[in-house]
Structure 1
Amino acid sequence: MKPFLIGAIALVSLVANASTEDSPAEALLHNMHQATEQLDYELSYILVRKNSIEPLRFRHAVVDGKSFGQIAYLSGPPREVIRRGDEISYFEPGIDPFTIQSNQMVAPLPAVMQTNIDHLATMYDFVPLGRAREAGVACDVVRVSPKDGERYSYVLWIDQDTKLLVRADLLGRDGDPIEQYRALSVVVSPQVGDMMRQLATVELPPVVHLPNKPNTGLNWQVTDLPAGFEPIYRNRHRLLITERPVESQMFSDGLFSFSVYLSEADKFSVPEQVVRKGRRTLHSHLVGNAEVTVVGDIPPATAKKVAESVRFVSQPKAPAVAEPTTPAESGVETQ
């Protein structure tokens, strides 16, 4: 009996130790995140959507202990995003350049490159899919699959040598590809750091300092969120074009995000509407005299579930009037 007990205790100890260690796939993602933040490199890549292929270039380097990044759109009107530490500058056609304080670039890069892997592990399974070749290099392939089936998944190709992400396929719930990020060339070199160091002396737009606002209290809440989604922003504002007053809340799980908008129903409101374009879903429906709209990077079924879970603390009423917000203040991601 004693040898049996000793063996059982040893087995339990091994299982406990194994559960505290990262799986090979999770360890690979940690290596990818570390390489993304620490190496000096340049990626030329294309973003493939249903009806478009967009060429871009991403450069990254660590300059004097700060992370510098630069994304350039290589076709169409000049567009650029520049990161210097915790300051992100945006140059878009038709609007004045501006700079905000943030540690993440809102740009067409896979969000998995800029997120916390440990946090993702609580909501997603990391499944190794073997090896393949992409962008001329040998890669390890990993699937990032949601535990609850209420959001999209990724298949990632990670360079075996540099640990940089060279391909990412965004997949719908049915497994069909929605969007692809595909590197065409990867260069890891100190020369990239020398080029990026020049950005330290470039005069960029001053940081936009938004006035401090008290925590906006809303008389409604979302009662059925997918696990891991947390509120990161709430606001009252007017839509820039129609001047229609709107209340909004934004939620994120670190990989995907969506916003819930509430406004007073008008003659253009319809009982229910669903629109999907690529990764983006819009679902709206009426609750009394209020229109609830969910917009974000989630499947239509999840957007419908979220919209229908909105509950009011008191009788629904029109949102309070507020001043228009800038794109940076709205918290809505544009890609």
Structure 2
Amino acid sequence: MRVIPLYVVLGGWLSMPAFAADAGAWLQRLATAEEGQSYHGTFMYERNGSFSSHAVWQLAENNQVHERLLQLDGPAAEVLLVDGRVQCASEQLASQVRDMKPWQQAQLDPQVLGQWYDFQLLGESRVAGRPTMALGVRPKDQHRYGYELHLDRETALPLKSLLLNESGQLLERFQFIQFSPDAVQPADIEVGAACQPVSLAAEEAGDTAPQWRSDWLPDGFQLLDSSVRPSPASDERVAWLIYGDGLAHFSVFLEPLRGAVVEDARSQMGPTVAVSKRLTTADGDVMVTVVGEVPLGTAERVALSMRAGADQALR
């Protein structure tokens, strides 16, 4: 979420304590803004050179947050979330919704995140016709990406977000074109017939703790969740673990190969990397796949560090 040129963002970070304190206060406002704020608007999402536009309505009432997203170009796809959990989705949009707004699933604790990121106010900006404050989030090591967040002065909601790699290259952009914190009505979050209920079968089946651990994790990353679930491509059961540092996160999938011949692979689409490595264990070969918004080298090192045995303790 940024309005300042990338070379200024990466090359001109100041470390004045007062700036850091003010930035932490803005981050704290952001942490609570989504919980009780109703709003509607339209935003643009850019990833891997492709663009899409969406309308959004968020209704916060009775200690619940309902959010409806509607894709405005291409197929008329939409998603409905309640308290961050997908309730129904058109197939085209279901896999994208969490990628578009990563801070919603984050644990934005300034004190904790301050161990792994530097925060700085970059100055006044303007997005969607509204005054905003640009906040820089710079990683302290090479194992995570940096953000620039343009926070609405009235609501502290992010009206623009840029995700940058270690070289200052833009990996992902989220930016409101129109935004209004006006009242949202229950009728605004009613979805169409194409929004199909999301099956909970996979979640209900995933109640077994996987017996896997990572011998290496970047500082600050901890195991957030884990389960064993049926593979969508075979009859095997796949161990799934998700790690995070409070802002960045990645998933690890481990699937028995049963003699299948597969090759190691690595790819990157925008900020998302996928690394697959064959791992030999006492029970046979396993394909380890790491997927997430972390640098490629970090994902490879995590994949190579996975070991069978006692499960890793949850945070």
Which of the five TM-score ranges fits, normalised by the shorter chain?
A: 0.7 to 0.9
Aligned to 1:33, the other structure's residue is in SS state helix
The match for 2:27 is: 29
* Counterpart mapping for 1:210-289 below 5 A: 211=204, 215-218=208-211, 220-265=212-257, 266-270=259-263, 272-288=264-280, 289=285
Q: Is the 8 A contact 1:78 1:93 kept in 2?
A: no
**How many Å separate the matches in 1 of 2:85 and 2:295?**
32
User: How far did 1:155 drift?
Assistant: 0.5
Which of 129, 140, 153 is matched with 2:146 structurally?
153
Q: Is the 8 A contact 2:254 2:287 kept in 1?
A: yes
Q: TM-score, normalised by structure 1?
A: 0.73
The match for 1:293 is: 289
The match for 1:109 is: 100
**How many Å separate the matches in 1 of 2:99 and 2:38?**
19
The C-alpha deviation readout for 1:241-300, integer Å capped at 9, x for no partner, is: 243443332222332322222234445322x42111112111122333333221222110
User: How far did 1:307 drift?
Assistant: 1.1
Aligned to 1:27, the other structure's residue is in SS state helix
Structure 1 unmatched ranges of 5 or more: 1-18, 98-104, 315-335
**How many Å separate the matches in 2 of 1:64 and 1:32?**
20
Aligned to 1:117, the other structure's residue is in SS state coil
Kindly provide the amino acid, as one letter, of the partner of residue 49 in structure 1: R
User: How far did 1:196 drift?
Assistant: 4.5
**How many Å separate the matches in 1 of 2:29 and 2:200?**
34
Structure 2 unmatched ranges of 5 or more: 1-16, 311-315
Q: Is the 8 A contact 1:224 1:306 kept in 2?
A: yes
Distance 1:63 1:161, change over 3 A: closer
1:183 corresponds to 2:183? no
1:70 corresponds to 2:68? yes
Kindly provide the amino acid, as one letter, of the partner of residue 177 in structure 1: L
Which of 119, 131, 135 is matched with 1:126 structurally?
119
Q: How many residue pairs align between the two structures? A: 283
Q: Is the 8 A contact 1:68 1:85 kept in 2?
A: yes
User: How far did 1:301 drift?
Assistant: 0.8
Q: TM-score, normalised by structure 2?
A: 0.77
The C-alpha deviation readout for 1:33-79, integer Å capped at 9, x for no partner, is: 33332222112101012231111112112223322221112223332
Give the fraction of aligned pairs with identical amino acids, expressed as a percent.
25
User: How far did 1:212 drift?
Assistant: 7.4
The match for 1:91 is: 89
Q: Is the 8 A contact 2:210 2:240 kept in 1?
A: no
Q: Is the 8 A contact 1:153 1:170 kept in 2?
A: yes
**How many Å separate the matches in 1 of 2:31 and 2:200?**
29
Q: Is the 8 A contact 1:58 1:72 kept in 2?
A: yes
Of 181-190 and 71-80, more deviation after overlay is shown by 71-80
Q: Is the 8 A contact 2:206 2:228 kept in 1?
A: no
